[in-house]
Amino acid sequence: MHSPYACPRFAVTPVDRSLAAELQGMIDQKTKPQGALGRLEELALQLGLIQHSLAPRIANPHVLVCAGDHGAARAGVSAFPQEVTWQMVENFLAGGAAINVLARQAGMKLVVADAGVAHDFGPREHLVDAKVGAGGTANYLEGAAMSEAQCAVAMGHGAKLARDFAAAGCNVIGFGEMGIGNTASASLITHCITGLPLADCVGRGTGLDDAGLERKRALLAQAMAAWPQRPPFSHLPLTEGAAGRGSPHLGKAEAGPDALRVLTRFGGFEIAMLAGAMLAAAEARMTLLIDGFIVTAALLVAAQMSPAILDYCVYAHCSNEAGHRRQLDWLGGRPLLDLGLRLGEGTGAALALPLLNAACAFMNEMASFESAGVSEKTG
């Protein structure tokens, strides 16, 4: 990709680990056996590193749900008709969807963005008009889903929203999506970037039966066969990242542009928007709450462009969609929850936020052995 739209630039830097020893010492000195709070201790350390603070806190958390339609949906890759995308956006705006309920419970501000839904909503309160293509993406069975320019615009819209959230004092963003057919798109992106077998990346999505699943697999194999200039990915193994978690070992400078080629060929406008929002959020040193399969596909693209983004990611849950655990394994990500969810919308992120609050609370409110006058372990 050599056009001026080719590769949006983001200055994502690894977390500063200079406070790591002091943070770990504070965690170890709380009135408990070392490690007794398990993953909460790891989470407190990560939040402290991201915020470069000995007293991490959650401030004005948002969940961003990006919606878009996919041209390939009309070919039968989903159990639901394409109209469900705009109908569910209306449900979000009316406050009746699962993410509305769970975001309210978690104290998160819900922002819904139309990245490219095949429906004219008109000016609507609580809906961000970030529409890139009025009818959604093109059909990737016949060619590229979007142009390089459209991809850049979608990523730019997402980046602007993340920066606006940061300016409003938000330091945690959960990511969600809505788009009939987007599990198929995420499957293709995952296959291309990770090198995992396509069959391992394809699941039932919104509830396909066995015949529907076989049709979906056949259509996605057809989509891969119809791409004559697929980039030569190296699929190099993972190494340990700056924050002690897995990060892609990018062996060549073209890794980012190659990921964008995949995104333009098979992605959705909502997936591109999410990738841009994630990169801008990490650039602003915010915590990224990563939801399920489609959101993680957007992260795969973003991580190829800026591997340091993974330092800022908290993996909310492992979904019941077939390829999600494989994505997490490839990224070296450990999910906080495993509830069998397969809804999307950012629901897993909303459910995980209380754990981030708990990690901050024990860091800031729990007594140390010294302050409580409690004897420490003797041997």
Q: Is residue 30 part of a domain?
A: no
Count each helix (H run) and each strand (E run) in the chain, helices first: 14, 8
Can you name the residues that pair with 152 across neighbouring β-strands? none
Among residues 172, 107, 128, which one has the least CA distance to residue 273? 128
**Mean pLDDT, rounded, for 169-177:** 98
Mean pLDDT, to the nearest integer, of 194-213? 83
pLDDT band, very low/low/confident/very high, at 48 (cuts 50, 70, 90): very high
Residue 14 included in any domain: no
Nearest Cα to 161, choosing from 49, 272, 260? Answer: 272
- Asked if the structure places residue 149 within a domain, the reply is yes
Q: Taking the CA atoms of 223, 224, 226 and 228 in sequence, report the sign of the dihedral they define.
A: positive
Contact 327, 353 (CB under 8 A): no
Exactly one of 345, 365, 370, 376 is catalytic; which is it? 345
Is 278 part of any domain?
yes
Annotation says 22 is catalytic:
no
- Domain count of the fold of the chain: 1
Residue 236 has pLDDT above 80, yes or no: no
User: Does residue 77 come out as left (phi exceeding 0), alpha (psi in the -120 to 50 range) or beta?
Assistant: alpha
In-domain check, residue 208:
yes
Q: Is the pLDDT of residue 1 over 90?
A: no
**Is the predicted pLDDT of residue 249 greater than 80, yes or no?**
no
Q: What is the mean pLDDT of residues 143-160?
A: 96
What stretches of 240-367 show up as alpha helix (H) in DSSP?
Answer: 255-266, 269-283, 293-305, 324-331, 347-365
User: Stretch 264-292: mean pLDDT, rounded?
Assistant: 97
Alpha carbon distances (Å) from 256 to 20, 132, 157, 195, 252? 30, 22, 19, 16, 9
Average pLDDT of the residues in 94-112? 98
Given a cut of 70, whether residue 291 has pLDDT beyond it is yes
Beta carbons within 10 angstroms of residue 120's beta carbon: 9
Residue 363, domain member (yes or no): no
Other Cβ atoms closer than 10 A to 173 = 30
pTM of the full structure? 0.92
Mean pLDDT of the chain, nearest integer: 89
Range of the domain at 331: 60-358
Instruction: Tell whether 29 is covered by a domain.
Output: no
Per-residue pLDDT tens for 49-90?
999 999 999 999 999 999 999 999 877 667 778 999 999 999
pLDDT of amino acid 73: 86
pLDDT per position as a tens digit, 250-277: 433 346 668 999 999 999 999 999 999 9
Asked if residue 122 is part of any domain, the answer here is: yes
Widest CA span of the chain, in angstroms? Answer: 71
CATH of residue 162: 3.40.50.10210
Confidence of residue 7 (pLDDT cuts 50, 70, 90): low
